[in-house]
Structure 1
Amino acid sequence: MRSFAILAVAIMSAAPALAGPQEDFADLTERYWEFVLEDNPTLASSLAIEGHDDKLYDYSIEAMDRRAAMSARFLSELRQIPDSGLDEETRISKAILERSLSEAVEANEFGQRLMLFTNRSGWHQAIAGLGRNLKFDDVEDYENYLKRLAAYPAQNDTAIAVSRKAVEGGYTLPCVAMVDFEQSISGVIPEDASESRLYEPFRGEAPDMIDAATWRDLQQRALKLIDGRLRLAYGEHARWYRDEYAPYCSTEVGVSAQPGGAEYYDFRIRQMTTTELSADEIHQIGLEEVARIRSEMEKVAAEAGFESREAFIEDLRTNPKYYAETPEALMQYVAREAKKIDGMMPTLFGHLARLPYGIREIPAEIAPGTTTAYYNPGSPENGIAGTYYVNTSKLDQRPLWEVPALTVHEGVPGHHHQIAIQQELDMPAWRKNGTFFTAFVEGWGLYSERLGIEMGLYDTPAKDMGRLSYEMWRAARLVVDTGLHSKNWSKQQAVDFMTENTALSEANIDAEVNRYISWPGQALAYKIGELKIRELRGRARDELGEDFDLREFHDVVLGQGSVPLDVLEMQVMNWVAAKKSGD
């Protein structure tokens, strides 16, 4: 395995002077991907690429600067390769890589780079869930996992040191968004360490490839490590957060109140939406979408026999018939909905993903303060399915009428289908496994909720209102996120706007607003991306008329993996032109 120093020398000395632009680009991306894998060892392991299996991510400031410097070198070399010598597909790949590298360089210029966690995630949760994303085929795999656990205290120390710098610089998360965050740290290792997610790979009987004595030894060493050094590390993390971070959390909710915050928010808008839209423009788009969706909600409420939208929403929020009484009942309802959707997929897609997905409950230590569901990609290389995680805490805040929209978004045809298809595409590894544009990925997820109409999923007024409420939720994000971070809104203003316009429960609204506060700009991607996909579908249908094929359109949208929205528009309109010319 190369060291970073050797790799850096190789990159600096490289120049695009092989056999031509195509070959130069291929050589550059090979070296770039090698750097990405060495810098992201758990990503490499998730792809079954060996040589990094006992290492963890480096959170140090030195590593941040090294990554930015390497990205700048790659960027300089990339810009020396002329587009004129590249085929169309390679030109697209070059534009995608240039955007990614430019953003990596720019991101490192902001003091917000020191903020290593949000109210729902951090290094302590990354290691806790690591075992579910790795293969365990032999003793060496378990030994490497133990080495990673042993390396965690040092990683924790590094991350805390960086976070101390964040506190000193005024880069802290707002107090109002951090309720129960300490529990997400202290809850990782319960009193019985064998119940921790960290120990999950060692539960049960010995695998066939490991003898009983070796298995017992692995189990004992894992328990000793988790109950000893890791418990101490998590304890120190919790103490640091309680004593050194929480007292200095920000009283201002908007990132614009931080040093350089306004400029940082402008960057986040560009990064998350892949557009040049301003905060004001996005705010206005949100207000217009809220007004349109509100009108549709009023029609559904009238059809359901209610005097007003508000009366129907109150019934949806409070009527016990809409809520599961046990976590198992909720999970069974989700599972049934997921299988119903599976059977409809061939009507909307010509290319179906081979990798399946499963459902799990969100881990108990983070469930009360996190969102209603999320998706975790699988790994075809490691034989790991994708996972749709469902929040089973606060059951009186998890209505069944939202399950259809939630499931098409997180499972299929949403995140699982899109990401699993990308994992199968015949394209360079760095694009297949290393590119993620939030506007595309989350825009597709929201667009998938609309496909539920064509699937017939919203077959009751309650479910249809659930679908509209979810769309309203994403439209309201455009207003709320920009309100919080560019218009000096308070958290209460954001909560009031969400309460007034969506049918989300009180707990969901509070968790969501906390998320927008601690993760600026990310929530803008959903609606901006979905509007672009809907726009392109309409344009393609209008231009092709009877020749428009919805299954083919969907395959085209997903056929190049995650791309910026301008690239998506180009690939769809190229498909339209080819269809019209008969190619």
Structure 2
Amino acid sequence: MIDNPREATRIDATAEDYVQRLAALDPLAATSLGLPGHEDELPDLSPRGHLARAEAAMEAVAHLTELEAADEVDVVTMAAMSERLGLDAELYMSGEVGRQLNVIHSPVQNLRDVFDLMPTDTTEHWESIGRRMTALPDALAGYQESLRAAAVDGKVAARRQIEACIAQAEELADESTSFFTTFVAGARPDGSEPSGALADLLTTGAAEARRAYGELSQMLRRELAPKAGTRDGVGRERYELWSRYFLGATVDLDETYEWGCEELARVTAEQNAVAARLYGPGTTPAEAMARLDADPARRLRGTDALQAWMQETSDRAVAELADTHFDIPEPVRRLECRIAPTQTGGIYYTGPSADFSRPGRMWWSVPPGVTEFATWRELTTVYHEGVPGHHLQIAQTAYRSDLLNTWRRLACWVSGHGEGWALYAERLMADLGYLDDPADHLGMLDGQRLRAARVVLDIGVHLGKRAPEDLGGGTWDALKAWEFLKANANMAEGFLAFELDRYLGWPAQAPSYKVGQRLWEQIRDTSAQEARARGEELDLKAFHRRALDVGSVGLDVLRSTLVRRPDAPASRR
């Protein structure tokens, strides 16, 4: 029971109106947020659709300027919406939205990935899926229209990204390999095989989806690839814009590059010390990892064992952290761990629906042929994606309907805030003793080293900075980045190749993890200093509760909210 729940304000109403407008203009977002009413629709990805979404963002910001904040929650909402939606409009005006094409986060992938989030229990669910598949040709036709318009202005993705997306589209178009083929083949509405009109709809929908991706692959190959350049770096101007978008903060990129070099050296030294603890002085991290990989006690065989281990590990973390180190509401204590239907190698989290009927989920996309998994590597991953990482952060915010409007709870996501928190959570679990086994600690450091390395690599390549002398000096490029990545990541080359393509095609996103962690730690440390100035010690549990109750806002907004009034009482329960 909530005592004295906060009353909605005019600013909340503006935020709610914008969410409803966004859901109608972007049904992918509606499904991701768990908002009903657009299950069988797809967005207009033509220039007209992009303009409509930009206008909605700008109109919401303009409306906010006419209102006055009723309380501190309103102050944060106004700041966060102005920053986020203002950047949406800025990205549109700069032409960044219409040109989006990369290996991991563009309409090529997003239009397929939305089907992972759709319920599949009933005939009605599969009817929505079928209708949405039949909408794919129009959505991808609009996307092609935007890519052509951007190309007229010389805004074309690098050849590396286009070639990778051609391969992805061709796989989705091939009946023997397509996700849509296997997805429909596995349909069991209400526990039985589809028949009659539903069977026809699904067969037609899958065929239409495959055809649409086939047409996309041909357009990319024939029209876009010939216009593409080989340069991967996007330059300082574009990078600064995307850095602000992914961090919700303005940082000195040159200072951040130098800090990344220093952080990489620090994490590497810590790795060396842990490797020596495991197997004696002189043992390198690579040697220690090879010995751990060969240890049968630290391996899982098969995806069933992997899924069970993920779930058990997650459940145990929730049970032990709830009511001790964190406030975890009852609905948030449910987290589903699943093997993803795709085979890309990624591990990711999807948030709950607004009413928690769809719980938060941790997904593991296992590549073909991979049958064994090392627990020492992945324990920290479960904490990163689950609790106290993304699940605690996202699901707890979603739960706070007594405090936050729908935009604050569900629709606002800032990578530096979210991914920075997840890395912060990994380190926190080490501080709490959950990674005291040196093998598990080494696994956490392996991930932290990669995240530090990609700060250096990402800024180095995209800004054309001078490469380290051990890479031959000169200007950073993809070849130097590849050698640097192999030297600082203990991963199979197939994984690393995809990772490199991701960094080169999605500027400033990868550094937002480690830079976001840095900013989270700075905010916490500043709060601790101010508490000591008052003769107190920082209550870390209360700090985390207050910080997470703010929601996923830009890190500059988070800092001003938490540091401006460090003695403010905790939000209402």
TM-score by length of 2: 0.85
- Counterpart residue type for residue 560 of structure 1: V
Who is 2:266 aligned against? 292
**Alignment partner of 1:129 is 2:108:** no
Equivalent residues in 2 for 1:119-268 (5 A)? 119-135=103-119, 140-176=124-160, 181-188=165-172, 191=175, 196=180, 199-200=183-184, 203-204=187-188, 206=190, 215-256=194-235, 262-268=236-242
Who is 2:3 aligned against? none
Change (3 A) 1:384 1:74: closer
**Alignment partner of 1:389 is 2:367:** no
Unpaired segments ≥5 residues, structure 1: 1-21, 257-261
CA distance in 1, matches of 2:265, 2:340: 33
Out of 263-272 and 165-174, give the one that drifted further: 165-174
Who is 2:470 aligned against? none
**Alignment partner of 1:417 is 2:404:** no
Equivalent residues in 2 for 1:299-310 (5 A)? 299-308=273-282
Equivalent residues in 2 for 1:518-529 (5 A)? 518-529=505-516
CA distance in 1, matches of 2:480, 2:45: 35
Who is 1:507 aligned against? 494
Who is 1:312 aligned against? 285
Who is 1:446 aligned against? 423
Deviation at 1:433, TM superposition (A): 1.7
- Counterpart residue type for residue 285 of structure 1: W
CA contact (8 A) 2:101 2:107 kept: yes
Change (3 A) 1:292 1:165: same
| Cα deviation 1:13-33 (Å, max 9, x = unaligned) | xxxxxxxxx965345334323
Who is 2:412 aligned against? 435
Which secondary structure state, in structure 1, belongs to the residue aligned with residue 230 of structure 2? coil
CA contact (8 A) 1:352 1:417 kept: no
CA distance in 2, matches of 1:238, 1:436: 30
- Counterpart residue type for residue 207 of structure 2: G
CA distance in 2, matches of 1:497, 1:94: 42
Which secondary structure state, in structure 2, belongs to the residue aligned with residue 114 of structure 1? coil
Who is 1:10 aligned against? none
Deviation at 1:167, TM superposition (A): 4.1
- Counterpart residue type for residue 498 of structure 1: L
Deviation at 1:185, TM superposition (A): 2.3
Equivalent residues in 2 for 1:398-547 (5 A)? 399-425=374-400, 426=402, 427-487=404-464, 488-544=475-531, 547=537
Which secondary structure state, in structure 1, belongs to the residue aligned with residue 93 of structure 2? coil
CA contact (8 A) 2:420 2:516 kept: yes
CA distance in 1, matches of 2:233, 2:102: 14
**Alignment partner of 1:76 is 2:55:** no
Which secondary structure state, in structure 1, belongs to the residue aligned with residue 331 of structure 2? coil
- Counterpart residue type for residue 376 of structure 2: W
Who is 2:350 aligned against? 376
CA distance in 2, matches of 1:175, 1:559: 43
CA distance in 1, matches of 2:35, 2:313: 35
Unpaired segments ≥5 residues, structure 2: 1-7, 465-474
- Counterpart residue type for residue 78 of structure 1: L
Deviation at 1:574, TM superposition (A): 5.5
| Cα deviation 1:58-99 (Å, max 9, x = unaligned) | 1111121232233333333322435xx642221111111111
CA distance in 1, matches of 2:568, 2:209: 58
CA distance in 1, matches of 2:359, 2:197: 25
CA contact (8 A) 1:202 1:218 kept: no
Which secondary structure state, in structure 1, belongs to the residue aligned with residue 190 of structure 2? coil
- Counterpart residue type for residue 107 of structure 2: W
CA distance in 1, matches of 2:462, 2:95: 16
Out of 299-308 and 89-98, give the one that drifted further: 299-308
**Alignment partner of 1:357 is 2:335:** yes
Deviation at 1:200, TM superposition (A): 5.0
Change (3 A) 1:412 1:446: same
Who is 1:562 aligned against? 552
| Cα deviation 1:366-392 (Å, max 9, x = unaligned) | 51xx5x411122314372122212232
CA distance in 2, matches of 1:507, 1:489: 22
- Counterpart residue type for residue 203 of structure 1: A
- Counterpart residue type for residue 341 of structure 2: P
CA distance in 2, matches of 1:147, 1:326: 35
Deviation at 1:305, TM superposition (A): 3.0
Which secondary structure state, in structure 1, belongs to the residue aligned with residue 338 of structure 2? strand
Who is 1:344 aligned against? 320
Who is 2:469 aligned against? none
> Please, which of 82, 87, 92 is the counterpart of residue 108 of structure 1?
92
CA distance in 2, matches of 1:416, 1:465: 23
Out of 32-41 and 419-428, give the one that drifted further: 32-41
- Counterpart residue type for residue 457 of structure 1: Y
Out of 284-293 and 41-50, give the one that drifted further: 41-50
Which secondary structure state, in structure 2, belongs to the residue aligned with residue 71 of structure 1? helix
Change (3 A) 1:206 1:343: closer
Deviation at 1:323, TM superposition (A): 5.4
CA distance in 2, matches of 1:551, 1:200: 46
- Counterpart residue type for residue 341 of structure 1: A
CA distance in 1, matches of 2:354, 2:15: 23
| Cα deviation 1:334-378 (Å, max 9, x = unaligned) | 3443233233222320234614222233434x51xx5x4111223
CA distance in 1, matches of 2:49, 2:438: 53
CA distance in 2, matches of 1:398, 1:178: 32
CA distance in 2, matches of 1:325, 1:535: 40
Deviation at 1:50, TM superposition (A): 4.4
CA contact (8 A) 1:266 1:278 kept: no
Out of 292-301 and 501-510, give the one that drifted further: 501-510
Who is 1:93 aligned against? 77
- Counterpart residue type for residue 79 of structure 1: T
The two structures, once aligned, show a CA RMSD in angstroms of 3.1
- Counterpart residue type for residue 266 of structure 2: R
Change (3 A) 1:526 1:117: same
TM-score by length of 1: 0.83
Which secondary structure state, in structure 1, belongs to the residue aligned with residue 566 of structure 2? helix
Who is 2:471 aligned against? none
Alignment identity in percent?
26
CA contact (8 A) 2:170 2:217 kept: yes
CA distance in 1, matches of 2:278, 2:87: 48
CA distance in 2, matches of 1:247, 1:333: 47
Deviation at 1:56, TM superposition (A): 1.0
